[in-house]
Amino acid sequence: MANFDVLVIGGGPGGYLCAERAAQGGFNTALIEKGNLGGTCLNEGCVPTKSLLYCAKQYATAVHGKDYGFTASDVKYDHAAVIARKERVVKKLVAGVGASMKGNHVTVYKGEGVIKGRNPEKGYDVEVAGEVVTADRLVIATGSVVAVPPIPGVKEGLASGFIVTSREFLSMKELPKEMVAIGGGVIGLEMACYLATVGVKVTVVEMMPKIAGPTDADICDNLMKTYQKDYGMKFELSAKVKEVKADSVVFEDKDGKTVELKCDKVLLAAGRRANIQGLNVEALGIETNRGAVVTDRHMLTNVPNVYAVGDCNGKLMLAHTAYREAEVAVNHMLGIKDEMKYDNVPSVIYTNPEVASVGLSKAAAEEKGLKVKEVKVPMQLSGRYIAETLRGDGFAKIVYDTERSRIVGVCMVGNYASEMIYGAAMMLETELPLSQLKKIVFPHPTVCEVIREGLFML
Ligand code: NAI
């Protein structure tokens, strides 16, 4: 029987980083993965989506070349070639994770891990591919799966292929002519924007009065207007899907009218849920809440030496959250003082223009009783932004705690936002006072200079 110090179940960002760090910390470590290493993020989420979105962006530049002083003739979008490129990107990165496991001497088991219970002598037993593996410490990192809402026709649509989830979407060999996205959250928006950019007619049906969940309402408006104007995309807000038929989606619109939209593909993007079904967490009495594993600030469950990191704890389903949670868990194992904080985790929507935010909105800060001032800085204040962007209506908002003299939130819409937001996260995390932030020299000309401009407006 194989014995380990640490056994990680799941090889996505949370799981593989945890295994890497545990091995580097001196633990004899194993990892169980039933699919490809890299999990949802690498294989059917973040990375493939970015690969597709980048290709669409290049295509859009070629099509609209006239705006920049050149014309390209006979520009054709070859979706199958784009998918093939995406597969090469994914393969390369998955191989990289494999190499890292090998380099760090992590034993990788291929198969589905099922918890068997406590081992009478040492730690916990997990069965994989007919073998029982024992470890002192367990890390559950089994990720999340698509949430399938109980809407009539959805199960049938998924079975027939008329409805796709993000997974199938990222491998579709052909583009649909007309698509309806159920859900205007992060996945719905990124995928709808991809299709709209390459000429597919898209309607986003979102049951809330705005898209993109908790994202700043001004930013959502800006994004919606861009896609409506530039790509003819349609948004149905406060619209609840009632049924999916063989070739249409039926929803109740904001005025209570029943509308039937014909299309040749439907994207189901109505959320994800923690994936712990079949893992047998009950065998150890691991506490769960609404199907997700409950964890404390060290990523420990209620069972000693059993941790849960990533989407399976349902806290903040983002790959970069999982990375940090993995480090916190390993630090706890090593006795290094550390704890998980979710306040300053940035979030990004990789549309074009990009959307990024960190910390509190003005309303959320006021709800917490903070005295705040907000400034809205047009991206047009950046020379580089004007030089590169003709649309030019992006902006950043900075929320400032006037009593503590600290920045408590930043959000923005406009390109490079995804790369700029970490700077804002650093300002929040380090809690540097405004007087110090103003002394930071920003490179010129860059778009991040709008943040510097904003600091001087406070
Ligand atoms: P989500 O929770 O972000 O959005 C789902 C949307 O669907 C919500 O706005 C909800 O109101 C709407 N909805 C639910 N049922 C509906 C119905 N019957 N009719 C109409 N609208 C309905 O979930 P999403 O987009 O599926 O993403 C799942 C997770 O993956 C999220 O936690 C997200 O943060 C993460 N993710 C992150 C990305 C990033 O960081 N760039 C990219 C993709 C996913």
Give the pLDDT score at 121.
86
Quick one: which atom of ligand 1 is closest to the CA of 241?
Answer: 19
CATH 1.10.150.120 at 154-270, yes or no:
no
Residues with CB under 6 A from ligand 1: 149, 151, 182-188, 190, 205-208, 213, 240-241, 269-272, 317-318, 347-350
Task: Give 232-251 pLDDT, tens digit per residue.
Answer: 999 999 999 999 999 999 99
Q: How far is the CA of 184 from the centre of ligand 1 (A)?
A: 7
Q: How far is the CA of 433 from the centre of ligand 1 (A)?
A: 35
CATH top-level class of 347-455: alpha beta
DSSP state of 200: -
- Using most ligand atoms within 8 A of CB, pick from 207, 215, 315, 358 the residue to mutate for ligand 1: 207
Give the pLDDT score at 389.
87
Nearest CA to ligand 1 atom 4: 185
Nearest CA to ligand 1 atom 26: 271
Q: What is the dihedral of CA 383, 384, 387, 393, to 10 degrees?
A: -80
Quick one: which atom of ligand 1 is closest to the CA of 147?
Answer: 26
Q: Indicate the domain borders of the chain.
A: 2-145+273-334, 154-270, 347-455
2-145+273-334 and 154-270: identical CATH topology: yes
Give the pLDDT score at 98.
98
* Dist CA 458 CA 448 (whole Å): 17
Tokens for 10, please give them.
């799941």
Residue given tokens 């979008």 in the structure block: 77
Rounded to two decimals, the pTM is: 0.96
Q: How far is the CA of 208 from the centre of ligand 1 (A)?
A: 11
With beta carbons less than 8 A apart as the criterion, state whether 29 and 132 touch. Answer: no
Report the candidate in 188, 282, 167 with the shortest Cα–Cα distance to residue 235: 188
Q: What is the pLDDT along the chain (458 residues), one digit of tens a residue?
A: 799 999 999 999 999 999 999 999 999 999 999 999 999 999 999 999 999 999 999 999 999 899 899 999 999 999 999 999 999 999 999 999 999 999 999 999 999 999 999 998 889 999 999 999 999 999 999 999 999 999 999 999 999 999 999 999 999 999 999 999 999 999 999 999 999 999 999 999 999 999 999 999 999 999 999 999 999 999 999 999 999 999 999 999 999 999 999 999 999 999 999 999 999 999 999 999 999 999 999 999 999 999 999 999 999 999 999 999 999 999 999 999 999 999 999 999 999 999 999 999 999 999 999 999 999 999 999 999 999 987 779 999 999 999 999 999 999 999 999 999 999 999 999 999 999 999 999 999 999 999 999 999 99
Task: Give 182-215 pLDDT, tens digit per residue.
Answer: 999 999 999 999 999 999 999 999 999 999 999 9
Quick one: which atom of ligand 1 is closest to the CA of 240?
Answer: 19
* Dist CA 206 CA 181 (whole Å): 8
Q: How far is the CA of 147 from the centre of ligand 1 (A)?
A: 9
Concerning whether 444 is annotated as a catalytic residue, the answer is yes
Q: How far is the CA of 255 from the centre of ligand 1 (A)?
A: 23
Quick one: which atom of ligand 1 is closest to the CA of 239?
Answer: 20
CATH 3.50.50.60 at 2-145+273-334, yes or no:
yes
Percent of the chain with pLDDT over 90: 97
* Dist CA 328 CA 345 (whole Å): 14
What number of other Cβ atoms are within 10 A of residue 5's Cβ? 17
Three-state DSSP class for 92? helix
